[in-house]
Amino acid sequence: MVRFGIVGFGNHAVKRLMPGFAKAQRCRVPALSRRDPQRAQDSALQYGIPYAFSSTAELCACPEVDAVFVTSPDAFHLSDVLEVIRHRKPVLVEKPMARNSMEAARMVEAARKANVLLGVAHNMRFEHSVQWFRQRLGEGAIGRPLLARATFVAPMLTSPRTWVNDPKLATGGPLADIGVHCIDTLRYILGDEVESVAAQAQYDSHSVLEASALGMIRFSQGTLASIEVSGRALYQTVIEIVGEDGVLSGLNALNVERPTTLELRRGYEVIERREVFNCDAYTLQVDAFARAIEEGRDFEISGEEGLRNQLVLDAAFRSITTGKIESVERPEFSASAL
């Protein structure tokens, strides 16, 4: 049984992680940390967690903690992850992995040097809907993929995670917070890497961060894709892959609260329609990370995978600034990570 400490125990931990851990078979949560000591104690009492700390270092030093899940605001990911690595404990960090690819590369290099397991919590790879897309595409159900689309919108201004609208704490607006899910999911489904990005953003008076964004992406094997995100709309997600021989589509494809309707169509004919529920995605994620620890192997979504997503985000933000198509850089690592 792997014992996790959760760093930055806030709304995400309450709403998503703790219900996931409650059903997990391989792990549990005996410790948490929050910057406010009183809030840390209150959260621990509320959720029956034995150990509460006000710093990442204190949590990492706890002998009852085998691994650490970093769920703090984006701006603290680098320092929190490096602290965990210094304590030689496996670390799973929330998405987006960092504020930019340089920070992400530092995490990857530090984990490599210390021989510490580093994973990124792209939980949607564990959703049954996403697995269906990947499986059907791999089976050749629609032939060669030509076009792809991932849409993710959510009312971020009313989110209990208030820091997501703070430019000092967040990597970006919806492009970074939910757009990174779209990037990672399409990379995973297509089994391909992004070559270039052309992006545009819309802004409003609520935040200096983008309110909505659109990214046009070229994958290395030729698939063209669009990513559409907004933080000013009611929650909705859509995935669609158009191939030479058919179309795969999913309404509510990237969510854990409502059923997802999946379809395989050829022309006007529906070949397959099914409904799946992704409610166990967070449980599957933490159990998978615990299994990787127990078996001494890499996690399915490594730090390198998180870095690749970060490089795509970097290119998208550059494109918004320059108005040009921006190439996605290849992963590089600094000579000194710490």
> For residue 225, what are the β-bridge partners?
148, 217
Helices and strands (H and E) in the chain: how many? 11, 15
Report pLDDT for 336: 46
Instruction: List pLDDT tens digits, range 141-155.
Output: 999 999 999 999 999
Instruction: List pLDDT tens digits, range 166-223.
Output: 999 999 999 999 999 999 999 999 999 999 999 999 999 999 999 999 999 999 999 9
Q: What is the C-alpha separation between 191 and 177, in angstroms, rounded?
A: 22
Q: How far is CA 253 from the centre of its chain?
A: 15
Q: What is the C-alpha separation between 123 and 289, in angstroms, rounded?
A: 11
Q: What is the C-alpha separation between 71 and 74, in angstroms, rounded?
A: 8
Q: What is the C-alpha separation between 138 and 152, in angstroms, rounded?
A: 24
Q: Could you tell me if 201 and 213 are in contact, meaning their C-beta atoms sit under 8 angstroms apart? A: yes
The pTM assigned to this predicted structure is: 0.96
Element (H, E) at 265: strand 260-266
Distances (CA, A) of 14 to 8, 164, 275, 330: 11, 16, 27, 36
Burial 101-121 (b: 16+ CB within 10 A, else e): bebbbbbbbbbeebebbbbbb
- Contact partners, residue 40, CB within 8 Å, separation at least 6: 9, 32, 33, 34, 52, 53, 54
Distances (CA, A) of 243 to 190, 200, 223, 229, 265: 11, 26, 9, 23, 10
User: Tokens representing 166?
Assistant: 């703070």
Q: What is the C-alpha separation between 147 and 175, in angstroms, rounded?
A: 20
Q: Which domains does the chain have, with CATH numbers?
A: 2-123+282-299 (3.40.50.720), 128-277 (3.30.360.10)
3-state secondary structure (DSSP) of residue 48: coil
Question: Looking up tokens 């409502």, which residue turns up?
Answer: 258
Q: What is the C-alpha separation between 12 and 17, in angstroms, rounded?
A: 7
Residues of the chain with pLDDT under 50: 335-338
Q: Are strands 194-204 and 145-155 parallel, antiparallel or unpaired?
A: unpaired
Q: What is the C-alpha separation between 28 and 176, in angstroms, rounded?
A: 29
Report pLDDT for 333: 57
Q: Could you tell me if 94 and 107 are in contact, meaning their C-beta atoms sit under 8 angstroms apart? A: no
